[in-house]
Structure 1
Amino acid sequence: MAVFLGYGKINWSLCMPFRRCHSRMDRYKNDIDLQFVNEHFVWYFICYELMGSFYTNQDEMSTMKKVEYYYNNLGNWTAEEWVKKNFLNNPLEIERFNTILNYIPDSTSSVLDIGCGTGIFLHFLEKQYNIQGIGVEIAESKIKYAIEKMNVNAIRGDASHLLFEDKQFDVVTALETIEHLPYGTYENALKEMERVAKHHIIVSVPYRERRIRIKCPYCECQFNPYYHLRRFEETSLRTLFEHFKVIKFHKIGLQLRNPFSKEVQKYNCQSFPEFAICPACGFYNQSKSHHPVTKPLLNQKLGKKILRLPLVPKQYRWVMALYKRV
């Protein structure tokens, strides 16, 4: 079955869980205003397979433009509030930055940070090593914050098409970045990192992540709210690059968690975070007052009791890999 919507043709046989999307969207299309990254994508679906692949007949740049709004969306937070809450006031995040900074070789004079976000790592890099690195970021709101508040060099760009010379940077970093990249962009970004790095590459990613899913209130698509598309551990990290080998792994951020928290989230997934955007229909929480909420599958009181169970050691939150050119 193929469905034509606006500018794209979708083969629904590739993504059976979303066959209900079309009929449910017809039900709401007269009552809602879907916000896409630009008007050319109105009523164009990007199908998101549950394991994390994108199925679309658009080129990879169109795919990245489609999800660009996600990276600009900070929900109801200002940029300053978002940075303080998620990074500057988060001990685990500070630990992550400090750990990675300790692996910057002493001889380093140039650094490129891919997916630099709000420029916090580059700010710490300059403060500790007096190195003015360059950041590449897709979200304009974060670039603006990086330049104006963090006083770092940041440019808007695509990780899969870096506008730099071969071996231009002593160190290339990608910190909590590559797990977000869709198929096609991911493979090209790794090649580009390898091309522009002269000596070292540093990658940090969530470690053995058990990705949670939320449910879209409109099309019922279930997806990861953070757009994490793949899972990493030591074995998969060893094979990322052809001309670089891993010389060091470092696990960061040992966490204590309730062993049943993921199951509670799975069966009670009516909560739709303010920063989330459905990759199937484009829905996001623009105004919470009039949006339908999916019926919870687990009793709220029971869920709270389960979450009060004692915390147990789980695993490290991130793993960092240091690569050296061979």
Structure 2
Amino acid sequence: MQADWRLTEIERARVADLMAMLPPQAGTAVDIGARDGFISMALADRGVSVTALDLEQPAIHDPRITCVKGDATALDFADGSFELVFCAEVLEHIPSVLLETACAELARVARRHLLIGVPYKQDLRLDRSTCSNCGKTNPPWGHVNRFDEKRLSELFAGCRIAQTSFVGQTSEVSNFLSTRLMAAAGNPYGTYGQDEPCIHCSAALATPVARTLADRCLDQSCRAGP
């Protein structure tokens, strides 16, 4: 069954944009972070022989797709195994200390093309959550890395950028004071519905309990700020 978020306007636009950037005649591809197989099946529909990889072996029941369990930081493939390495909505979740290793692995197994999709200049101070288990702060949607052109060029220094595209836009930003006030209020507007667990203790993030009057006052102070 297709996940509801796949039907949102921004998700449809994101996938369409990625598909439009596919190189012609990419005979073989690995889909890094395949999850539900939505992208893997879209690639297969375009005649690509697809290997779908995730930390847990994907359960994609499609004879055109080979499902494997694997880690982007240590890919069990020979150099240049795939004409296309497809990696979208993954690198922002990789622990920062392993990010360079993961990017080097993607480049290593790509014979010709890398197609990378990441959030652009995301303000990771927005929509933070507070873990009810350990009390520590989490970034939105488990995103621990921020990207722009310079950062991507550094991470894929041995590659030539052939095309860049952008989907959607936002004007939302935060600041030091708002971030501190929101944290003091318990980060009530965080992304608690996300699948990703706490980055500190791996517990599932739970919606905060009812807030006190003091919490609500802090919240209003934050929302009234610049």
TM-score normalized by structure 2?
0.79
The answer on whether the counterparts of 1:217 and 1:293 sit within 8 Å (CA) in structure 2 is no
Q: For 2:95, what is the secondary structure of its paired residue?
A: coil
Offset of 1:203 from its aligned partner?
0.7
Offset of 1:255 from its aligned partner?
4.5
Match of 1:237 in 2: 152
The answer on whether the counterparts of 1:118 and 1:150 sit within 8 Å (CA) in structure 2 is no
CA distance in 2, matches of 1:301, 1:162: 44
Offset of 1:150 from its aligned partner?
9.7
**Which structure has the bigger radius of gyration?**
1
Offset of 1:277 from its aligned partner?
2.5
CA distance in 1, matches of 2:189, 2:174: 20
1:144-181 per-residue CA deviation (whole Å, 9 max, x = no partner) reads: 2xx13797332111111111121111111110111111
Task: Work out whether 1:250 is the aligned partner of 2:165.
Answer: yes
The alpha-carbon distance between structure 1 residues 130 and 151, as it changes in their structure 2 partners (threshold 3 A), is closer
The alpha-carbon distance between structure 1 residues 254 and 168, as it changes in their structure 2 partners (threshold 3 A), is same
Question: Alignment partner for residue 105 of structure 1, among 4, 10, 23?
Answer: 23
The answer on whether the counterparts of 2:198 and 2:205 sit within 8 Å (CA) in structure 1 is no
Q: For 1:253, what is the secondary structure of its paired residue?
A: coil
Task: Work out whether 1:125 is the aligned partner of 2:43.
Answer: yes
Q: For 2:160, what is the secondary structure of its paired residue?
A: strand
Q: For 1:134, what is the secondary structure of its paired residue?
A: strand
Amino acid at match of 1:283: A
Task: Work out whether 1:138 is the aligned partner of 2:58.
Answer: no
Task: Work out whether 1:298 is the aligned partner of 2:216.
Answer: yes
Task: Map residues 182-193 of structure 1 onto 2, 5 A cutoff.
Answer: 182-193=95-106
The root-mean-square deviation of aligned C-alpha atoms, in Å, is 3.2
Task: Map residues 188-207 of structure 1 onto 2, 5 A cutoff.
Answer: 188-207=101-120
Offset of 1:234 from its aligned partner?
1.3
Amino acid at match of 2:38: I
CA distance in 2, matches of 1:219, 1:138: 24
Which structure: greater strand fraction? 1
The answer on whether the counterparts of 1:167 and 1:195 sit within 8 Å (CA) in structure 2 is yes
Task: Map residues 174-323 of structure 1 onto 2, 5 A cutoff.
Answer: 174-211=87-124, 212=126, 213-255=128-170, 267=185, 269-270=187-188, 273-274=192-193, 275-284=195-204, 295=212, 297-299=215-217
Task: Map residues 29-44 of structure 1 onto 2, 5 A cutoff.
Answer: none
CA distance in 1, matches of 2:146, 2:173: 21
Give the unaligned 5+ runs of structure 2. Answer: none
Match of 1:153 in 2: 66
Match of 1:315 in 2: none
CA distance in 2, matches of 1:195, 1:238: 16
Amino acid at match of 2:149: E
Amino acid at match of 1:196: V
Give the unaligned 5+ runs of structure 1. Answer: 1-79, 307-326
CA distance in 2, matches of 1:151, 1:177: 23
The answer on whether the counterparts of 1:215 and 1:269 sit within 8 Å (CA) in structure 2 is yes
1:99-118 per-residue CA deviation (whole Å, 9 max, x = no partner) reads: 11111121311111111121
Q: For 1:112, what is the secondary structure of its paired residue?
A: strand
Task: Map residues 17-96 of structure 1 onto 2, 5 A cutoff.
Answer: 80=1, 83-87=2-6, 89-96=7-14
Offset of 1:216 from its aligned partner?
1.7
Q: For 1:94, what is the secondary structure of its paired residue?
A: helix
TM-score normalized by structure 1?
0.57
CA distance in 1, matches of 2:55, 2:67: 10
CA distance in 2, matches of 1:192, 1:301: 43
